[in-house]
């Protein structure tokens, strides 16, 4: 898994405080994302179905942040 160097963990966490999305909600966002190509994120190269399950992960373009739940 790769991490976006342009977003700090603090920024991703700040964004997520307003959202605190579940993995299913994250996945729904990824499914509708223009950067999703056949299940892989074109921004970070991750398989999104796995990435959304990893609580500390964040969308590299700020659509969702790390989960605290
Ligand atoms: S992680 Fe972000 S950029 Fe990548 S597919 Fe999901 S919503 Fe899109």
**Which tens digit of pLDDT belongs to each residue from 7-49?**
666 666 666 554 578 889 999 999 999 999 999 999 999 999 9
Going by alpha carbons, the residue nearest to atom 1 of ligand 1 is 59
Going by alpha carbons, the residue nearest to atom 7 of ligand 1 is 30
Q: Is residue 34 part of a domain?
A: yes
Q: Is residue 24 part of a domain?
A: yes
Q: How far is the CA of 8 from the centre of ligand 1 (A)?
A: 16
**Residue spans of alpha helices (H) in 1-69:** 9-17, 23-31, 48-51
Domain membership of residue 43 as a residue range: 9-51
Q: Is residue 37 part of a domain?
A: yes
What's the pTM value of the predicted model, to 2 decimals?
0.73
- Please say if the pLDDT value at position 4 is more than 70: no
- The domain total for the chain is 1
Q: Is residue 69 part of a domain?
A: no
Give the C-alpha separation, 55 to 69, whole Å. Answer: 8
Identify the pLDDT of residue 22.
87
């Amino acid at each position: 898994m790769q991490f976006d160097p342009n977003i700090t963990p603090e920024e991703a966490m700040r964004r997520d405080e307003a959202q605190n999305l579940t993995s299913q909600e994250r996945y729904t966002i990824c499914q509708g994302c223009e950067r999703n190509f056949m299940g892989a994120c074109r921004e970070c190269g991750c398989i999104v179905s796995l990435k959304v399950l990893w609580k500390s992960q964040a969308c590299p373009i700020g659509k969702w942040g790390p989960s605290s739940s």
